[in-house]
Structure 1
Amino acid sequence: MKWWKLLISVLFWLLLICVESTGVGSRRNAYATMMYMGTPRDYEFYVAIRVMLRSLSRLRVDADRVVIASVDVPTRWIHALEEEDGAKVVRVENLNNPYISDTSHDRFKLTLNKLYAWSLVDYERVIMLDADNLFLKNTDELFQCGQFCAVFINPCIFHTGLFVLQPSLTVFKNMLRDLDIKKDNPDGADQGFIGAYFSDLLDRPMFYPPRNGTKLDGTFRLPLGYQMDASYYYLRLRWSVPCGPNSVITFPGASWLKPWYWWSWPVLPLGIQWHEQRRENLGYHSEMPFVLIQIILYLGIIAITRLARPSLSKFYHRGADKNITIIQTSLKAIAMLSIIISYISPFMLVPHTIHPVLGWTLYLLGSFALSCMVTSVFFLPMLPVLTPWLGIIGVLIVMACPWYTDGVVRALSIFAYAFCASPVLWISIGKIRSSLHISLEREGLLPGRLTDSTQSNSFNKIY
């Protein structure tokens, strides 16, 4: 019986070796992205990378998912990427960017870490990605492309948010040498550097994947459908990209309007699609405690302001008659500033990467609660103070309306709404100032009322 047990053990170990040799570690290709620290948006890009990695897994790509992470990325983030998202993390030192002497290039100073993609020589092909890519379809056919392939979303400049490369230490060393000699770079970042290195790509043929699955040699242009600029969608509020498989959406442009920020929708309608992918793949568990705390806080403020009615006379000392003008001017300024703060501070407190519907709901609840507090403290009428609040709800409805025929009609509708709402807002400001004047007079903070009160008190003392 012992030889049977020995035979079973040998077969088991042989099977295990075969599984490992054909498993994730032996995959010939990889989807790669990079992560580095040192910007105010590090956490947001970390979340975006996790969503992209999980969406690739959901699409069942036949490739490793690699994160090129600088050594200063927090260990807990690395563990989450490896253990929860199934990514392979490659730790690297930040590449020195010789172009950061120009202050306009400082925000790009670490994007040259993208060049490490050429050092991933364990793979035959690598698809290098930015975090702001939204995958709609599996794009494994791109691994059949040549030594370098990219999309021209600009007529003359290809985009480095997604490109295919064949890893090569020779190319990697040549790039590092070009950095040392500070080769011309129009933007001081990866876009300009890689664009200059493959300057002849515009003259290369278009890539079409061979049906037999073979890999091509050379450099190719990729069809626009592999890197659909979100700007194309906003013009007609639908996709009209005739070439390519329409597989990937990219969001170039202002960094504060990336799709993971809750305020980007409905300003930019496609942001909701990114959040739908996050909801399906990652969820919002990390942000929910902050959301619940803020909801409880705002509801508490509303309840307290309905019960407490403070008096303006508590904010000053009546004996300081010579400073009455300064007091009433200061209170007017404080009241107007408080209204402004009640609309700004909730915006800053909402977790940046929360779902837009929840984000806007939390913001509106916060601004309503703080506005109620201002009206209670300064005895202001509710409707004028809440006019901006109602206006924000109106503009959200106008922007999110799904029945626009195209982006031009949508833009004109938003402009018309703003034009019509401006006089209402101006009238509400006038009513707030008038009501504040009446409140100050009622509390004895205006000179005329204070004089009458003083004379009356003197008369009563005489008699």
Structure 2
Amino acid sequence: MVNELQNGRENQDGADQGFITSYFPDLLDKPLFHPTLDGTKLDGIYRLPLGYQMDASYYYLKLRWSIPCGPNSVITFPGAPWLKPWYWWSWPVLPLGLQWHEQRRKTLGYGAEMAVILIQSTIYLGILAMARLARPSLSKLCYRRADKSISIMQNSLKLLAVWSIIAAYLTPFFIIPHTIHPLLGWLLYLFGTFTLCSIAINAFLLPMLPVLVPLFGIVGVLMVMAFPWYSDGVVRALCVFGYAFCATPVLWASMVRIMAGLQVSLEREGFMPRLGESSPPSWFNKLY
């Protein structure tokens, strides 16, 4: 393009599209292209219809194509590199993600990713079974009441519990194959997050519902965004913001409940017995 500009070729807008008028000055006078019914070859120059190449942002405004977009059309997806339709997390943020993956299913398929999905699902099932059977907890930790480091240990355990919950929500996101189908990706993410959260719940004796509130919130926002009967994209965006506004206090209350439950567990006599004293049996801890 730079060479063409140096050679004096006319460019209307300074971009590569501007060269079209210099290469084809009489393009607007050419007939519109219509494919033949019998598949015969056409000679000459034709104009493509307006809907042949469409920007996906036109669809997001009205949640429908205002201009006919036929099966031979080219759809471009401008935007952030990490928010493209081939990434599983882009749907339902981008409503056209499922259509894109439907085309991939018919052409390339998902054979390369399915093996990883099956392995991860098996690992999550094993972790969930071990967490339910072993039920690891911190009840075996001991300390001296007169030990000055008890406050440091309690704060460290609180920090460890918070980071374990954060890791439970982030780890599945990064290890799922990025180009898997969105439905499989979100199902595996929710299952993996629930599995890893169960480890934190059993290890720190946390209340289950507050820990899983963010997971329920993610399910809710997915349902709000995937709702198929919005009149246009503006209404859809307002509903998402309204849901976030209503869910924020619930999320904050769950965090407060988690910290309060963790503090009670750390201060409970049966949870952290003192050194030199006989600890009650494990079945008594469960009853307590």
TM-score bracket, shorter-length normalisation? 0.7 to 0.9
State whether structure 2 residue 249 is matched by structure 1 residue 249: no
SS at match of 2:88: coil
Q: Percent sequence identity over matched residues?
A: 60
Gap change, CA 1:199 and 1:443, over 3 Å in 2: farther
State whether structure 2 residue 43 is matched by structure 1 residue 214: yes
After TM superposition, list the pairs within 5 Å mapping 1:330-369 onto structure 2: 330-369=156-195
8 Å CA contact retained: 2:169, 2:193: yes
- Residue aligning to 1:227: 53
User: Which structure has the larger Rg over C-alpha atoms?
Assistant: 1
Tell me, in whole angstroms, the C-alpha distance in 2 between the residues paired with 1:243 and 1:381. 51
SS at match of 2:75: strand
- Residue aligning to 1:44: none
8 Å CA contact retained: 1:302, 1:369: yes
Tell me, in whole angstroms, the C-alpha distance in 1 between the residues paired with 2:270 and 2:14. 66
Q: Deviations over 1:377-407 (max 9, x none)?
A: 0000100000000111111111111111111
- Residue aligning to 1:299: 125
- Residue aligning to 1:194: 16
| One-letter code aligned to 2:73 | S
State whether structure 2 residue 214 is matched by structure 1 residue 388: yes
Of the three residues 78, 82, 86, the one matched with 1:260 is 86
* CA displacement at 1:214 relative to structure 2: 2.4
Structure scoring higher RCO (CA < 8 A, sep ≥ 6) equals 2
Of the three residues 267, 292, 312, the one matched with 2:138 is 312
State whether structure 2 residue 243 is matched by structure 1 residue 414: no
* CA displacement at 1:250 relative to structure 2: 1.3
| One-letter code aligned to 2:16 | I
Structure 1, unaligned stretches of length 5 or more?
Answer: 1-174, 182-190, 458-463
8 Å CA contact retained: 1:225, 1:245: no
State whether structure 2 residue 64 is matched by structure 1 residue 238: yes
Q: TM-score when scaled to structure 2?
A: 0.80
* CA displacement at 1:301 relative to structure 2: 1.2
In angstroms, what is the RMSD of aligned CA positions? 3.5
Tell me, in whole angstroms, the C-alpha distance in 2 between the residues paired with 1:437 and 1:176. 66
| One-letter code aligned to 1:254 | A
Q: Deviations over 1:73-121 (max 9, x none)?
A: xxxxxxxxxxxxxxxxxxxxxxxxxxxxxxxxxxxxxxxxxxxxxxxxx
Tell me, in whole angstroms, the C-alpha distance in 2 between the residues paired with 1:176 and 1:194. 10
| One-letter code aligned to 1:310 | P
- Deviating beyond 4 angstroms after TM superposition, the runs of 4 or more aligned structure 1 residues are 175-179, 195-205, 220-223, 242-246, 313-320, 443-446, 453-457
* CA displacement at 1:281 relative to structure 2: 1.5
SS at match of 1:228: strand
State whether structure 2 residue 249 is matched by structure 1 residue 423: yes
Tell me, in whole angstroms, the C-alpha distance in 2 between the residues paired with 1:343 and 1:315. 26
Q: TM-score when scaled to structure 1?
A: 0.51
Tell me, in whole angstroms, the C-alpha distance in 2 between the residues paired with 1:441 and 1:263. 41
Gap change, CA 1:413 and 1:358, over 3 Å in 2: same
Tell me, in whole angstroms, the C-alpha distance in 2 between the residues paired with 1:210 and 1:387. 55
> Which structure dedicates a bigger proportion of its chain to strand?
1
8 Å CA contact retained: 1:301, 1:369: yes
Tell me, in whole angstroms, the C-alpha distance in 2 between the residues paired with 1:226 and 1:197. 19
* CA displacement at 1:209 relative to structure 2: 3.8
8 Å CA contact retained: 1:316, 1:327: no
